[in-house]
Amino acid sequence: MACDLILVLDAPSPRDVTPALRQLQGTVRWVKVGLEMFTACGPDCVREIAGLGFEVFLDLKLHDIPNTVAQAVASVASLPIGMLTLHTSGGREMMEWAVRAQQQHAPHLRLLGVTVLTSTSAAGLAATGVSDPPAQQVVRLGRLAIDAGLRGLVCSPLEIAPLRAALPPDVVLVTPGIRPAGAKADDQTRVMTPAAAARAGARYLVVGRPIFQAPDPVAAARALLAEISAP
């Protein structure tokens, strides 16, 4: 299946990104609203961005007791969003409750389970008490998420192959940790280039700073789309 871009809007307000978004209408389909914008502007920013014609991926990375996460899923169900994230490390019961809330309140919403953050290195993971390599922990969390009823995961492109070997083929894999050749990694550690991630089988690439910190973000988004659609 083709690989698509999810453009990350890590900014405090939709106003900061609207000029670029207007130029990308019709070129980019999906945008990601994350903690920075949502904690500053709340549900209104989601409605505003959806009003510009984009599909919204709401990256709240929910992680709490099952009842609280289920209620949060019910609370965002009225928003115009197509994807919502939660942390698989919240455990099986938390994910089952979230899936039930999604099925009841937002049947068209895709819940995605974040496995190991792409900023986490093997040493960083070990410091939390998980001595297995990141790929092994990602597969463990991925299995747990699928058993709990999720049908999509967020992982590094480095873990696509082991997840594909372990999970049903219809599981959607969404990958941040994307860095064009020669770009700086910033706080990300488990990274891959856009072309390599697309070749590895990612369904969606989540890309922020390599686009918005480029001298011309619109040109950078177009170049990235060309790179991932090249045969």
Query: What are the residue numbers of the active site?
Result: 61
Rounded least distance, CB 7 to ligand C5P, Å: 10
Query: Looking at 14, 176, 194, 217, which residue binds ligand C5P (CB under 6 A)?
Result: 176
CB of 83 closer than 8 Å to CB of 62: no
Of 190, 168, 166, 160, nearest to 178 by C-alpha is: 190
Judged by CB, which is closer to ligand C5P: 117, or 198?
A: 117
H or E, element range at 185: none
**Which one of 3, 154, 225, 228 is in contact with ligand C5P (CB under 6 A)?**
154
DSSP state of 79: S
What is the DSSP track for 93-122? HHHHHHHHHHHHH-TTPEEEEE-S-TT--H
Please select the residue that binds ligand C5P; options are 8, 21, 69, 146, rule is CB under 6 A: 8
For position 207 contacting ligand C5P by CB under 6 A, the verdict is yes
Tokens of 129: 């008490």
For residue 223, state whether it binds ligand C5P (rule: CB under 6 A): no
Report, in Å, the least distance between residue 205 CB and ligand C5P: 9
Where does residue 25 rank: exposed (0-12), middle (13-18), buried (19+ CB within 10 A)? exposed
Site for ligand C5P in 19-48 (CB under 6 A): 34
Which residues of this chain interact with ligand C5P, rule CB under 6 A? 8, 10, 34, 59, 114, 117-118, 154, 176, 178, 186, 188, 206-210
